[in-house]
């Protein structure tokens, strides 16, 4: 199946925003596989008996997107940025509800070099990453967004630059600095 064009997805998002219910029906199959791919990367590092499955994560993101009312979708990248935020929140909420944060234990060093290839670590590590990202957001909101979009959303450098409306060089620089900062933060927790 050929990937849909950015323009096609953007048009459907805007039509959906304008109230065209049929646009959502056309949009769903165009973005589902990509959302599923992002969720699969996030779930790949989880234990095999994990109760939250990839499809359930995608479905939960979908339900929240449909329930969030009328978002003024700018383009495809904006849609996947919002989806990345939702995926992050769902994984964090799930980890917290499972009580992994109370168990403590050593934090594993996590490489963020190739975000699309990196899977989310077990629940307690996701909570640690979330805490570190919140701390980074206090220091530098944009760097925190870069990590969220790349790590949780699986967006490319170019897509991240488009969402944040900055140059690709800025994203590369922010990505590099954020990785160093987060690794330092996560290693202090051990």
Average pLDDT value over all residues in the chain: 78
Tell how far CA 93 is from the center of its chain.
14
**Residues of the domain holding 100:** 7-188
At 172, is the pLDDT very low, low, confident or very high (cuts 50, 70, 90)? very high
Name the domain count of the chain: 1
> Which residues 6+ apart lie within 8 Å of 128 measured at CB?
107, 186, 189
Which residue is associated with the tokens 């008996």? 49
Task: Note whether 155 and 149 are within 8 A (CB).
Answer: yes
pLDDT at 155: 82
Average pLDDT over residues 127-131: 82
Instruction: Encode pLDDT of 90-108 as tens digits.
Output: 887 887 776 644 454 444 4
At 137, is the pLDDT very low, low, confident or very high (cuts 50, 70, 90)? very high
Highest mean pLDDT of the ranges 2-16, 30-44, 126-140, 167-181: 167-181
Instruction: Encode pLDDT of 9-62 as tens digits.
Output: 889 988 888 888 898 889 888 888 888 887 777 776 566 666 778 888 888 888
Which residue is associated with the tokens 């939702």? 86
Rounded to whole angstroms, the Cα distance separating 190 from 25 reads 47
DSSP 133-153: HHHHHHH-HHHHHHHIIIIIT
Rounded to whole angstroms, the Cα distance separating 186 from 100 reads 16
> Nearest-5° angle of CA 8, CA 12, CA 14?
115
Does the structure show a pLDDT above 50 at 122?
no
Which tokens hold the place of 31? 């973005």
Exposed/middle/buried for 168, CB within 10 Å: 0-12, 13-18, 19+?
middle
Q: Which residue has the higher pLDDT, 151 or 170?
A: 170
Rounded to whole angstroms, the Cα distance separating 58 from 51 reads 14
> Which residues 6+ apart lie within 8 Å of 114 measured at CB?
none
Whether 1 maps to a domain, the answer reads no
pLDDT at 125: 73
Does the structure show a pLDDT above 90 at 81?
no
Whether 179 maps to a domain, the answer reads yes
pLDDT at 141: 93
Whether 2 maps to a domain, the answer reads no
Whether 13 maps to a domain, the answer reads yes
Lowest mean pLDDT among 16-25, 29-38, 122-131, 141-150: 122-131
């Amino acid at each position: 199946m050929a990937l849909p064009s950015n323009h096609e997805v953007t048009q459907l998002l805007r039509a959906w925003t304008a109230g065209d219910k049929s646009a959502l029906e056309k949009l769903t199959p165009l973005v589902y596989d990509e959302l599923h791919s992002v969720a699969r990367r996030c779930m790949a590092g989880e234990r095999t008996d994990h109760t939250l499955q990839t499809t359930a994560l995608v479905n939960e993101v979908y339900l929240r997107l449909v329930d969030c009312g009328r978002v003024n979708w700018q383009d495809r990248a904006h849609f996947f940025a919002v989806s990345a935020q939702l995926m992050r929140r769902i994984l964090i909420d799930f980890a917290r509800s499972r009580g992994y944060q109370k168990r403590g234990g050593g934090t594993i060093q996590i490489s963020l070099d190739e975000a699309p290839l990196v899977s989310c670590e077990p629940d307690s590590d996701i909570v640690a990453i979330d805490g570190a990202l919140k701390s980074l957001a206090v220091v530098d909101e944009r760097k925190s967004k870069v990590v969220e979009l790349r790590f949780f959303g699986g967006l490319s450098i170019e897509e991240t630059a488009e969402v944040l409306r900055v140059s690709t060089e800025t994203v590369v620089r922010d990505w590099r600095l954020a990785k160093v900062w987060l690794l330092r933060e996560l290693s202090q927790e051990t």
